Amino acid sequence: MSDKSLLCRTALPLIEDHLLAPEWRDPRIGIVHLGIGNFHRAHEAVYTEEAMLAEGGDWAICGVTLQGDVTKRDALMAQDGLYSVVERGPQGVEVSVIRALREVLALPHDRARLFDLLADANVRIVSLTVTEKGYCRDTKTGDVDLSHPGIAHDLEHPGEPGTVPGILVAALKTRRDAGIAPFTVLSCDNLSHNGAALRQMVCSHARALDEALAIWIDREVAFPSTMVDRIVPSTTDADRDAAAAALGLSDEAPVPCEPFRQWVIEDRFPAGRPAWEHVGAQLVDDVMPFELAKLRMLNGTHSTLAYLSMLAGFATIDEAMSFAPLRTLIHSMMTHEIAPTLGVPASFDLMAYRDALLERYANPALKHRCAQIAMDGSQKIPPRLLATIAARLELDQSISRLSLGVAAWFVFLRGRADDGTTFAINDPLASRLSALATNAGDAPESLVSSMLGCRDVFSPELASNEVFRRALIQAVTQLKGGTRAAIENANLNAF
């Protein structure tokens, strides 16, 4: 810890005016956010702070960590919920202090306080950033996964839930029984149709407990969809040093991010919301075109970059983008294989969006670790790459670049880079996937057949598609000769 005084509310008068927007009043808690990670603190919390500064309202945030670890709670509460956002762009670093986070809780330790808040009529939004695996969904049906140990526990002990669906259903039941209007449930995760997906998951969990409750939730509770975008790496000592230098105070919980941010929100909030549209968010009738563009253009190429980079020995995305053949591959992938699958409003310039993404990836100040993006591939690959591949195959169009991204994931699952460096696989299905990849042997055909047999990732229709299978075998064969050479060959041979 720095020897400087700790960032907290009593220390705010010591902070330079340009780091702290004026005219702040202490709002009441109006939002409970599940999954109080770096992304939320650099995205929704920033928009909410600025919205309250612009238009007022009691929309302070209570953040909740669901992992049982009190470290983040204690670090943030030692600072009265304050933290700094460290924006790293090509032109330098900008630091600002965020005050919208008023309280942080950790389950299961603070269960009573959490459910008191969730039953409070002043709390009108419950938002989430828990990643795909936090939804406990059966990916085949979209319902809650009844075989999930956490779901099994919550159905057996509905008064002591620990999963997202269990918490939401228990809280909504309490409000219904007390005659309190329901809160709006707002997913901010990179999940296709995230509002509809969350509604289905929550209703199916409720149905396993009480059919009438499920009907009430489906009829009365709003689940707007969103599209979120901001690159937010893990916090490093360099970020703590940058915050301390700017603030003159020690911040043990700063959040690094890029200057760019985007938030597109389906405007369905029966109980009200902050004036997010006044601070840059887009409130729309249909999020889907924006969501799909981001999911395929940004997330799809991000995953492709991550797996190729892990094999080729690039540690960060900007380092990978400095390898000209890889930049060319990603540019071509977006231009020729991804963009043609998208139907966007006329005002959305996909080629300008492509160029902005390439510029963001190349940001040398951000140092976004490829290993962070490579996590949870079994959850990310289907919506980010496989859906685009399926769309291309349906029209008999080329998939060579997209297939290279999937093939790189197959080889990545063996846990070894081209230079022999080993790395851990961080995925809900890690042990199973690693075994499939490792036990398949050296033949590209065997690796492809083994991985395509994983029904948690590949549908029977896609797995049995011979064009896809051949493209994967060709890509794995190229990767066997070295990832950098495979990237160069892909640029030469793509069609």
pLDDT tens for 24-67 read: 888 999 999 999 999 999 999 999 999 999 999 999 999 999 98
Question: What is the dihedral sign for C-alpha 121, 125, 131, 133?
Answer: positive
Q: Which residues of 201-211 are buried (b: 16+ CB within 10 A; e: fewer)?
A: bbbbbbbbbee
Side chain identity, residue 409: W
User: Per DSSP, which regions of 14-158 are E strands?
Assistant: 29-34, 60-65, 83-89, 92-98, 101-106, 125-128
Helix crossing, 149-156 with 164-178: angle to 10°? 20
pLDDT in tens, 85-142: 999 998 899 999 999 999 999 999 999 999 999 999 999 999 999 988 899 999 889 9
What stretches of 62-209 show up as alpha helix (H) in DSSP?
A: 71-77, 111-118, 149-156, 164-178, 194-207
Tokens encoding 278: 């006044």
Chain-centroid distance of CA 294 in Å reads 12
Tokens encoding 173: 């039941």
User: Per DSSP, which regions of 133-261 are E strands?
Assistant: 184-187, 226-229, 255-257
What the chain holds in terms of domains, given with CATH numbers, is 9-284 (3.40.50.720), 288-493 (1.10.1040.10)
Chain-centroid distance of CA 159 in Å reads 29
CB contact at 8 A, 24 and 53: yes
What stretches of 362-416 show up as alpha helix (H) in DSSP?
A: 370-373, 377-381, 387-394, 400-412
Chain-centroid distance of CA 297 in Å reads 15
pLDDT score at 3: 67
pLDDT score at 18: 67
**Separation in Å, CA 264 to CA 11, 123, 188, 193, 292:** 35, 22, 10, 12, 12
pLDDT score at 492: 85
Strands 83-89 and 92-98: antiparallel
| Strand (E) or helix (H) holding 262 | strand 262-266
Calpha distance 329→494 (Å, rounded): 9
Tokens encoding 108: 């299961």
Which DSSP symbol is given to 465?
-
Chain-centroid distance of CA 116 in Å reads 28
Calpha distance 322→319 (Å, rounded): 5
- Burial status of residue 231 (CB atoms within 10 A of its CB: 0-12, 13-18, 19 or more): buried
Which DSSP symbol is given to 277?
G
Chain-centroid distance of CA 412 in Å reads 21
**Separation in Å, CA 324 to CA 45, 218, 253, 363, 490:** 36, 50, 35, 15, 13
Backbone dihedral angles phi then psi of residue 251, each to the nearest 5 degrees: -115, 115
pLDDT score at 169: 98
Calpha distance 39→255 (Å, rounded): 8
Which DSSP symbol is given to 282?
E
Rg of the chain, C-alpha, whole Å: 23
What stretches of 294-362 show up as alpha helix (H) in DSSP?
A: 300-312, 317-321, 324-332, 350-361
Calpha distance 304→290 (Å, rounded): 20
How would you list the strands of the sheet with 29-34, edge to edge? 101-106, 60-65, 29-34, 125-128, 184-187
418: number of CA atoms within 13 Å, CB side? 18
Calpha distance 487→495 (Å, rounded): 14
pLDDT score at 1: 46
> Apex CA 202: angle with CA 107 and CA 110, to 5°?
15
Residues of the chain predicted below pLDDT 50: 1
Q: Is 337 helix (H, G, I), strand (E, B) or coil?
A: helix
User: What contacts 179, CB < 8 A, 6 or more positions away?
Assistant: none
Calpha distance 128→276 (Å, rounded): 17
> Residue length, the chain?
495
